[in-house]
Chain A
Amino acid sequence: MLMITRRAGERVIIGGNIVVTLVEVSGQTARIGIEAPKSMPIFREEIWVEVMRENEAAAQAASGRLPDVVAPLTPPATTAASTTPANVVDPSGPGDSGAAPESAPPPSPAK
């Protein structure tokens, strides 16, 4: 890892289009300003790691693990913006509205 010592107000330039500014140092905390192209996502590491782990956990699902029919316990929100799934492919054929079924009993909730 490249280590660079900076004083408050000093900057580091990465790749010509990313500027990292050490804004302020106070005790154990440093405030860092980052200017980068808007297309470049920037995350706090701990949040990025949390989401990565959740994605990895989701990706472990076996194809048979999902219940065939599960009725949500809470009704769909009516005030929400449109969430009509676009780009949905149904390999078993067309004709699904995307709505959740209403006929199945919900699974017993955990205590």
Chain B
Amino acid sequence: MTVTLQSTRFGAVEIDEAAVVEFPDGLIGLGGHRYTLLRPQPDSPFLWLHSLDDPGLALPVTNPHLFFAEFALVLDDDVAVQLGIDADSSVAVYVTVRTAESPADFAANLRAPIIVRDGRGHQVLNQAPGCELRAPLFRADSAAASAA
């Protein structure tokens, strides 16, 4: 079974029904309950978390581990129990990406990652110390360190 995703950005896209991700609580402040992950550019680390209900609602996301070697996700015990996740669980973790004119101004939200497992998604609060709401994706200090 396929469903047709209508997108103001990408036009009509056929997706497998198994690729639909249900967000019981929606995204924080945005709502929406049915999304899917699109990868329009096969070689890009960026995907789009795209609403199936609102053709204009889509957020770029990425795998935080690709950009932040130190990234860790720590959940409140209550939240982890509710979501049925423990330290050994295999879940996909994404972070939303704030885009800008220059890649130097791109930022990822490490504070509220999106976890996806078994076709269900949740935007959760990361309790790991120091996780930034707007973490620059391309850090000046990384380049400086590699040049040193």
Contact of B42 among A41, A73, A86, A92 (CB under 8 A): A92
Cβ-based interface call for A85 (8 A): yes
Q: DSSP majority for the A interface?
A: loop
Given contacts A90-B42, A91-B38, contact A51 B111 (CB under 8 A): yes
A-B pair count, CB < 8 Å, reads 209
Closest-by-CB residue of B relative to A67 is B103
Report which of B39, B58, B69, B102 forms a contact with A88, defined as CB distance below 8 A. B39
Q: Is A58 an interface position by the 8 A CB rule? A: yes
From A63, A66, A74, A110, give the contact of B140 (CB < 8 A). Answer: A110
CA distance A101 to B45 in the complex (A): 8
Interface size class of B (residues with CB under 8 A): 35 or more
- With A38-B81, A52-B30 already in contact, the answer to whether A58 and B59 are too (CB < 8 A) is yes
Q: Which residues of A contact B42 (CB under 8 A)?
A: 90, 92-93, 95-96
Known: A72-B67, A74-B68, A80-B65. A85 touches B29 (CB 8 A): no
Which residues in chain B, 59-110, are within 8 Å of chain A measured between CB atoms?
A: 59-61, 63, 65-72, 78, 81-82, 87-94, 96-99, 102-105, 109
| CB contact between B59 and one of A59, A62, A93 (< 8 Å): that residue | A59
- In the assembly, what is the distance between CA of A63 and CA of B39, in Å? 11
Q: How many residues of A contact B (CB 8 A)?
A: 58
- Chain A contacts for B65, CB-based, 8 A: 76-77, 80, 83
Find chain B residues with CB under 8 A from A48 CB: 28-29
* Bound complex: CA A100 to CA B68 (Å): 13
Are the C-beta atoms of B28 and A87 separated by less than 8 Å? no
Q: Which residue of A lies closest to B101 (CB)?
A: A65
Task: State which of B43, B90, B116, B139 has its C-beta within 8 Å of the C-beta of A96.
Answer: B43
B123: contacting residue among A50, A51, A107, CB under 8 A = A51
> Which A residues contact B (CB, under 8 angstroms)?
38-39, 41, 43, 47-63, 65-70, 72-77, 80-93, 95-96, 98, 100-101, 106-111
**Residues of B with Cβ closer than 8 Å to A?**
9-10, 13-16, 18-21, 24-25, 27-30, 36-47, 57-61, 63, 65-72, 78, 81-82, 87-94, 96-99, 102-105, 109, 111-112, 116-117, 119, 123, 125, 133-134, 136-140, 142-144, 146
Q: Sample 7 A-B pairs with CB under 8 A, ordered by A number.
A: A55-B29, A55-B112, A57-B98, A66-B60, A70-B103, A89-B16, A100-B66
